[in-house]
């Protein structure tokens, strides 16, 4: 699944669950039900909203801060295919898998641990 498809799937699932939560809250308000139904409806709204506010911005960052972005933003730190850290100038760059769910790698300076870009 591409990053764009992943973002769309997360957004769609969150909005669907939030809609179900809103409908439950309306139904429980109309029926005069107790607080358990209202709490369930509120949770079905708040949990997906928190996912959208925390996870999606991270995915957008991973997608936008790529190697081309690094070349454009820090051209003085790029010599052909060689990259240097923007913070300390070291050319010891390591890659780490950020999450098995996103599939992104972080390109990180081996000396100062600064994240340079994502791929």
**pLDDT tens for each residue of 83-107:** 999 999 899 999 998 777 667 889 9
Stated pTM of the model: 0.61
pLDDT of residue 52: 81
State the pLDDT at residue 3. Answer: 66
DSSP states along the chain: --HHHHHHHHHHHHHHHHHHHHHHHHHHHHHT--HHHHHHHHHHHHHHHHHHHHHHHHHHHHHHSSHHHHHHH-GGGEETTEE--TTT----EEEEE--TTT--EEEEETTT--EEEE-
Residue 119: per-residue pLDDT: 87
For residues 83 and 117, what is the distance between their CA atoms, to the nearest angstrom?
A: 11
Q: Which of 34-38, 39-43, 72-76, 114-118 has the lowest mean pLDDT?
A: 34-38
Distance CA 107, CA 53 (A): 24
Confidence bin at 1 (pLDDT 50/70/90): low
Fold of 65-119: N-terminal domain of TfIIb (2.20.25)
Which pair of structure tokens corresponds to residue 74? 């820090």
Confidence (pLDDT) at 63: 80
């Amino acid at each position: 699944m591409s990053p764009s498809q992943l973002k769309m799937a997360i957004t769609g699932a969150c909005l669907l669950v939030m809609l179900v939560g809103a409908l439950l809250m309306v139904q429980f308000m109309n029926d005069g039900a107790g607080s358990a139904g209202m709490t369930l409806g509120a949770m079905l709204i708040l949990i997906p909203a928190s996912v959208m506010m925390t996870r999606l911005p991270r995915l957008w960052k991973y997608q936008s801060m790529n190697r081309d972005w690094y070349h454009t933003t820090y051209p003085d730190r790029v010599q052909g295919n060689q990259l240097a850290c923007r913070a300390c100038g070291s050319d010891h760059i390591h890659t780490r898998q950020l999450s098995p769910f996103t599939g992104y790698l972080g390109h990180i300076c081996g000396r100062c641990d600064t994240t340079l870009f994502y791929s």
